[in-house]
Amino acid sequence: MKFNLWQRLDHLLRQLLPASLVVFLALLQAVPWHLPQFAGVVPLLPMIGIYYWSLYRPDLMMPWVAFLIGLINDIALGGPIGISSLVFLGIQGMTSSQRRFFNGKSFLMVWSGFALLAAGGVLIQLTLSSILFGRTPIAHALLVEYVLTVFCYPLPSWLFSQLQLSWLRE
Amino acid sequence: MKQHTGMVGRLATLRLLAQRFAFLTLVMASFALMLLGKADTVLVERFRVFVDDAVTPVLQVMSRPAAAVSSVFNAIHDLAALRAENVRLTEENVRLMHWQTVARELDNENRALRAQLNFLPGPEAAFITARVIGDTGGAFVHSMLLNAGTRDGIRKGQAVIAGENLVGRIAEVGDRSARILLLTDINSHIPVVIEGSHAKAILTGDNSDRARLNYLAPNSAAVPGNRVVTSGHGGAFPPGLPVGVIASAQDGIVRVEPFVHRYQLDYVTVVDYGLPGVLPSDLPDK
């Protein structure tokens, strides 16, 4: 069976969907919301995307994709480069290797898995940036960010599953 | 047939090995990037600026709906606090009217004294006003992205103010984007003086909302409520730019609450005072 140009383009665009969604989340973090209550804290949204797609479509969230998204994330946030790349790679690697464990498990299980991995990711981030800065940044903002991220998880995850159902049927 | 399956198996093993190798290479690449970034190479900075320039148009579009959302939230918030705000403003207005009179008198006196001294005024500062399109909140970095760059005349090391108050300085500048390092960032060090006592110190951020006063002489009085302004030492900023007020002074740790809160910033002014900057890397790159 031969595909014409449009079909191939359509296929390519669908394949790019997960990565572009995570890049969108990374940029969303950098948008100024002007909310005094949330000044200085942002939920680490791209982590959710990396976790979700590594779990459900690891073929579309390859290690190099996670690496590149991490690079964009670090630059968009103005932080030291390479840290998010490493953290996202770690999440991608851990999740895609544990797919069999999560297979058929309840949403709560998957959510707890994310909470655990995100905690690891945040700790790595804190350690590495302390080493790079030579001083430890104030950690309580990071704690708020972590809690926000874990509580945010269901919404993007639900959106992703809807998009996956309508756009990425295997 | 058997030979065939053997080959497939070997191919699968090879592919798995290749995948593992690729993963490890990427992990090494991340560490290499961290080291390169730490070394502050020109290459890394060019790359960052390139990506910033690329995402600027996207962020510019995305920041519009965000601004609309926040204005709705703020409108609701303001409505609730309208009465109290009105009372506060009336009181403040009375106080400011008094200050205005004082300022006029001082201005007249100043002019008269300058005329007597044959005083040469400093060079006029040039202003560029730009919109904040990226507020990268977060525990690790306190920086902001502006929608103006070298083509608008922004140079590295220039001071960024909002109203009269210091916000930070330009840390990176691309063709159409620039990044401000806020004074609460962990990498920000600003020479300041405490108004009144003239005690000099360095204001250092630690990514919390209140920056710390370091290298303060032990016997100098740092009382909560005192204003802190730039000292002009090192040549990075002109002297006298308002920075913040001392919020707390406990156990030798003095913290300063900046006058400017990052969530309020919509437009900021980048000022070129014609100063050379504190480090060689801050020299305006022509």
- Give CA–CA dist B271/B268, Å, rounded: 10
Quote the CATH superfamily of domain B124-286. Rod shape-determining protein MreC, domain 1 (2.40.10.340)
User: Does residue A95 fall inside a structural domain?
Assistant: yes
User: Does residue A6 fall inside a structural domain?
Assistant: no
N-term to C-term CA, chain B: 71
Give B133-168 pLDDT, tens digit per residue: 888 766 778 888 999 999 988 988 888 998 888 999
pLDDT recorded at residue B68:
85
User: Does residue A7 fall inside a structural domain?
Assistant: no
Concatenating the DSSP letter of every residue in B91-138 gives HHHHHHHHHHHHHHHHHHHHHHHHHHHT--PPPPPEEEEEEEEEEE-S
Total structural domains within chain A: 1
pLDDT recorded at residue A1:
55
Q: What is the length of chain A? A: 170
User: Does residue A43 fall inside a structural domain?
Assistant: yes
- pLDDT-derived band at B122 (thresholds 50, 70, 90) equals low
The residue-averaged pLDDT of B265-278 equals 76
Shortest alpha-carbon distance between residue B13 and chain A (Å): 16
Residue B78 CB contacts under 8 Å (≥ 6 apart), including other chains? B85
pLDDT recorded at residue B1:
47
Shortest alpha-carbon distance between residue B91 and chain A (Å): 24
pLDDT recorded at residue B234:
77
User: Does residue A1 fall inside a structural domain?
Assistant: no
Instruction: Tell me the two tokens of residue B156.
Output: 């590295």
Shortest alpha-carbon distance between residue B117 and chain A (Å): 47
Closest by alpha carbon to A66, among A43, A47, A80, A44?
Answer: A47
- Whether pLDDT at B282 is above 50: no
Yes or no, beta carbons of A82 and B44 under 8 Å apart? no
**Which residues on neighbouring strands pair with residue B168, listed in sequence order?**
B160, B182
Contact with chain A for residue B132, Cβ under 8 A? yes
Residues of chain A with pLDDT under 70: 1-2, 37-40, 138, 170
pLDDT recorded at residue A54:
93
C-alpha to C-alpha distances, B37 to A70, B138, B146, nearest whole angstrom: 14, 19, 22
User: Does residue A106 fall inside a structural domain?
Assistant: yes
* Interface pTM, i.e. ipTM: 0.87
User: Does residue A4 fall inside a structural domain?
Assistant: no
- pLDDT-derived band at B255 (thresholds 50, 70, 90) equals very high
User: Does residue A134 fall inside a structural domain?
Assistant: yes
Which residue reads 């104030």 in tokens? A138
pTM equals 0.81
Using CB atoms and an 8 Å cut-off, which of residues 160-219 of chain B contact chain A?
172, 179, 186-187, 206-209
Q: Searching chain A, which residue's CA lies closest to the CA of residue B143?
A: A78
Closest by alpha carbon to B203, among B157, B141, B246?
Answer: B246
- pLDDT-derived band at B170 (thresholds 50, 70, 90) equals very high
User: Structural domain of residue A94, as residue ranges?
Assistant: 18-31+39-167
Instruction: Tell me the two tokens of residue B34.
Output: 């961290």
Give the 3-state secondary structure of residue B166: strand
